[in-house]
Amino acid sequence: MNPSTLVLVGTTKGAFIFSSDDAREEWTVDGPHFPGEAVYSMAYDQRAGRSRLLVGVHSNHWGATVRFSDDLGLSWSGPERQAIRFPESSGLSLAQVWQIMPGRPEEPDVVWAGVEPAALFRSDDAGESWEPVKGLLEHEHRPRWQPGGGGLCLHTIVLDPTNRDRMAIAISTAGFYRTDDGGATWQPRNSGVRAVFLPDKYPEFGQCVHKVTHHHSRPERLFLQNHWGLYRSDDWGNSWQDVANGVPSDFGFAIQAHPHDPDTVYVIPIQSDEFRVVPGAQLRVYRTQDAGATWGALDHGLPQEHAFESVLRDGLAVDTHKQAGVYFGTRSGKLYGSNDNGERWTTLAEALPPICCVKTAVLAPS
């Protein structure tokens, strides 16, 4: 097999690398890397000719950091120092790295990291050293941000591919914020997004946004899975509309745009805040192909009874093959994949540790 496709799986007890060819029918698994450490973030960066895996690792005893490999996990290089550090003046200490995202293609050495406590870090050397984005670190709203169940985490980073000065982030529990000046200032963009747990149901900020996704060809159109609520924005978050039209629950965590069609998005609904399993114990991915006007279930090959499963916010991913692969991992350690846009599913792994994140990469021909 000539590996061309990677599925990167972060779990509570290490990282696993699944690899396959273009057909994505047979898989080999490598791992765990960093056994015993929680991996909530992974990314693959192949800009500027590099082949770099980046992993956010967290030891319950020894803290969190970012490690990387330039040989697909055969060896892991430094930095041995805790690479992401809050400045002393902040009074904050790194708890977890929730998101690692390579920057725009025209900024091939830029990598972003979203962390807990909620902050955004930028690397200008492909992930070896990091600096906090001060405009967000020193945001006037910070004292009023409250941690969600996973902690006060910045878990989502959305880049505008057409405008270097514009990007957005999401924080649980603070909401969705956007900068239009390269990170100097950040404005909350939560109009229309409900906060069921607050007396004011539509505050300026304070929403528990679980995940946001978009397609690079239509970056202003965003899809947001909220702590109750499934939304779309067509104006970079200036306003949001409810698009939970036909899902069994609008509670959930994972949401992922299709790699080629800006109107197609996948979600995995969860029954409720109090009972965080898939509705009816039927494991189903829901897909819209009309930007949220309607949603339909994808369940061929997935268990349809006694499936008390849950999928975390970064547990759903797509690859960029022409016929897209879709993958998700559950908190009970099962990894599922589809090589046909989600029409049919197979089980890639049945007994991994609880899965925190799933990411993919299609390798450039060597």
Partner 1 sequence: MTVSVVLPRALTPYAHGLGTVQLDVSCATVRDALGQVAERWPALVDRVLTEQGELRRHVNIFVGDESIAFLDGLNTPIDEGATITIVPAVSGG
Pick 91 or 199: Cβ nearer partner 1 = 91
Number of residues written out for the chain: 366
Residue type at position 211: K
Pick 13 or 334: Cβ nearer partner 1 = 13
Q: Give the contacts of 99 (CB within 8 A, at least 6 positions apart).
A: 41, 56, 112, 113, 114, 154, 155, 156, 157, 314
Pick 46 or 82: Cβ nearer partner 1 = 82
Q: Provide the minimum distance between the beta carbon of 83 and partner 1 in the complex, in angstroms, as a whole number.
A: 10
Residue type at position 181: D
Q: Provide the minimum distance between the beta carbon of 208 and partner 1 in the complex, in angstroms, as a whole number.
A: 24
Contact of 315 with 358, CB cutoff 8 Å: yes
Pick 41 or 65: Cβ nearer partner 1 = 65
Q: Provide the minimum distance between the beta carbon of 69 and partner 1 in the complex, in angstroms, as a whole number.
A: 17
DSSP state of 306: S
Pick 62 or 202: Cβ nearer partner 1 = 62
Sign of the dihedral defined by the CA atoms of residues 180, 186, 187, 190, in that order: positive
Contact of 154 with 117, CB cutoff 8 Å: no
Pick 86 or 197: Cβ nearer partner 1 = 86
For 207, half-sphere exposure in the C-beta direction (CA atoms, 13 angstrom radius) is 31
**Cα separations in angstroms, 293 against 4, 194, 247, 290:** 35, 19, 11, 6
Q: Provide the minimum distance between the beta carbon of 151 and partner 1 in the complex, in angstroms, as a whole number.
A: 13
DSSP state of 49: G
For the chain, state the CA radius of gyration.
19
**Cα separations in angstroms, 82 against 37, 40, 54, 130, 365:** 15, 16, 14, 10, 33
Q: Provide the minimum distance between the beta carbon of 7 and partner 1 in the complex, in angstroms, as a whole number.
A: 25
Q: Give the contacts of 88 (CB within 8 A, at least 6 positions apart).
A: none
Q: Provide the minimum distance between the beta carbon of 91 and partner 1 in the complex, in angstroms, as a whole number.
A: 6
Pick 108 or 147: Cβ nearer partner 1 = 147
For binding to partner 1 (CB under 8 A), which residues are involved?
A: 12, 59-63, 65, 80-82, 85-86, 88, 91-94
Q: Provide the minimum distance between the beta carbon of 79 and partner 1 in the complex, in angstroms, as a whole number.
A: 8
Residue type at position 61: H
